[in-house]
Chains A and B, each alone.
Chain A
Amino acid sequence: EAGVTQFPSHSVIEKGQTVTLRCDPISGHDNLYWYRRVMGKEIKFLLHFVKESKQDESGMPNNRFLAERTGGTYSTLKVQPAELEDSGVYFCASSPPGTSALRSYEQYFGPGTRLTVT
């Protein structure tokens, strides 16, 4: 079974440009999460999809970030326009449906996309 995949693995863009990150969750996983780790800091939650619906986007830093999950399959995270402080590693994770119980540790993480804004 394929794991969570993310594309690209690394992106270098200039300040003011637009970048779109993609996440393909494990097949059948309704829950999809985005997290971000800015250099030297802890990993922070960005948002959570259940199928195509945004369940919680309280971690999105500002309106330059737009996440979508059309059709409830893959998700994209667009940063427009990118700023220097957006540099970091963006992780995507997915989990099966019905995993609201605390014991569910089935948040499977992707390898992350390293975003560098210059």
Chain B
Amino acid sequence: AQKITQTQPGMFVQEKEAVTLDCTYDTSDQSYGLFWYKQPSSGEMIFLIYQGSYDEQNATEGRYSLNFQKARKSANLVISASQLGDSAMYFCAMREFSNDYKLSFGAGTTVTVRA
């Protein structure tokens, strides 16, 4: 079964605007963590933001924020004030307590920022 679902294969956003990347997850664990990674064209995977299942507040890291809706099992990434350098593929991932160290990834969303 798919643990992480990213329904947006690709998105375009105008520079300086905000963009929301959707991520839903499936787990029966009470303890889990949700991650977003950025993969620019150079290939490396860059960690962006983390949200724990017991965290009461939504995570924020600079221009990145995570809209965590536990009941809906969604963990959308919001990028504010988009920059050209934000053009990349973005992956949502989950780590479950019962699944040890493994990260389960979604298929990714390609974001293209237009000037």
Contact = CB atoms under 8 A, between A and B. Distances in A.
A interface majority secondary structure: strand
Given A42-B107, A44-B105, A48-B101, A105 B44 contact: no
Interface in A74-118: 89, 91, 93, 95, 100, 102-103, 105, 107-112, 114
Given A42-B105, A100-B101, A111 B35 contact: no
Given A42-B4, A109-B44, A56 B100 contact: yes
A7 interface: no
B107 A41 contact: yes
Contact of B91 (A43, A48, A89, A95): A43
A110 B95 CA distance: 19
Contacts of B44: 3, 109-112
Contact of B102 (A45, A95, A103, A109): A45
A3 B91 CA distance: 20
A103 B52 CA distance: 7
Interface string B38-49: 000011111100
A33 B104 CA distance: 13
Given A31-B101, A33-B101, A100-B101, A91 B33 contact: no
B106 A89 contact: no
A94 B45 CA distance: 12
B97 A102 contact: yes
B45 A91 contact: yes
- Ranked 4 nearest A-B pairs via Cβ: A109-B45, A43-B105, A45-B102, A102-B33
B81 interface: no
Contacts of A93: 45
B70 to A, nearest CB: 15
Given A42-B108, A44-B105, A109 B37 contact: yes
Given A42-B106, A43-B91, A102-B52, A48 B100 contact: yes
A107 B103 contact: yes
A42 B4 CA distance: 9
A16 interface: no
30 contacts: A33-B101, A35-B103, A35-B105, A42-B91, A42-B108, A43-B91, A43-B93, A43-B105, A44-B105, A45-B102, A45-B103, A48-B100, A56-B100, A56-B102, A89-B43, A91-B45, A95-B101, A100-B100, A100-B101, A102-B31, A102-B32, A102-B33, A103-B52, A105-B35, A107-B103, A109-B37, A109-B44, A109-B46, A110-B44, A111-B44
